[in-house]
Amino acid sequence: MKLRNIFSRRNRILLRELVITDFKLKYQGSALGYLWSILKPLMLFAIMYVVFVKFLRWGGDIPHYAVYLLTGMVIWNFFTEATSLGLRSIVDRRDLLRKINFPRYILTISATVSALITLLINLGVVFLFAVVNGVEFTWYIFLLPVVLIELYAFSLGVAFLLGTIYVKYRDVAHIWDVVVQGMFYATPIIYPLSMVVAVNPAIAQFLLANPMAQMIQDARYLVVTQETLTIWNIGVPPVAQFIPIAIVFLFAAWAALYFHKRSKNFAEDI
């Protein structure tokens, strides 16, 4: 996979057109159209806010917990959307594979970029919500793109792997639904990590080895409040602090190579 082929003008044009098409088709036929990219996460947030904040009284020790919760949900929704779309990206474009000769990775990247556009729109809502809620931004917010790059790399790697396996084994879609549900509860999204620390600090440190937990907590630290517990301030040894980041980029590189190796047979396997 040569870099000059990956970034060739023809491939860039094809990628752009596929991203535009994917994003338009996502809301085709709905009355509210693109507004669903904002309304859906807000509706889910409203439900969880009422249940976990108003009734269960979670997050009372965290400033601006509503924004804290929304930030985590927006990031998690991107991960689930990007990986779900990436899982089906090759199979859903099977007709295109048989008609045109082009790098197969473009299909998976276009699916994840479509989800990335939704993420950026949702982050705009988060910032607006933060301003209304009185969050005081600091210079740390300029580090958020670093977390987003890590998030996209991890999501793309998972999408490459799932998309490759799904070509031959459709069962992986059902398995991934279960895995995602388990990851959701193993990641401090709806509950604050401080609750876990109160039970057992070692368990909280272990949870932060999960790249999604590390990225969500980092984003909350940068955007919402520096009182957020992260892998950098929870007492994890300095060398171990980089474990989730290493997992992300090593996994993404391996998944891309695996995808490239198997992509030559996609047309026949489908």
Q: What is the pLDDT of residue 3?
A: 46
- The answer to whether 48 and 73 are in contact (CB under 8 A) is yes
User: What is the average per-residue pLDDT within 166-173?
Assistant: 92
pLDDT for residue 29 is more than 60: no
User: What is the average per-residue pLDDT within 144-151?
Assistant: 97
DSSP 129-194: HHHHHT----GGGGGHHHHHHHHHHHHHHHHHHHHHHHHH-TTHHHHHHHHHHHHHHHSSSSS-HH
- The answer to whether 270 and 167 are in contact (CB under 8 A) is yes
Percent of the chain, pLDDT > 70?
Answer: 85
Q: What is the pLDDT of residue 190?
A: 85
**76-129 pLDDT tens trace:** 999 999 999 999 988 888 777 777 777 889 999 999 998 998 899 889 888 988
Q: What is the pLDDT of residue 62?
A: 81
Angstrom distance (rounded) from CA 190 to CA 52: 7
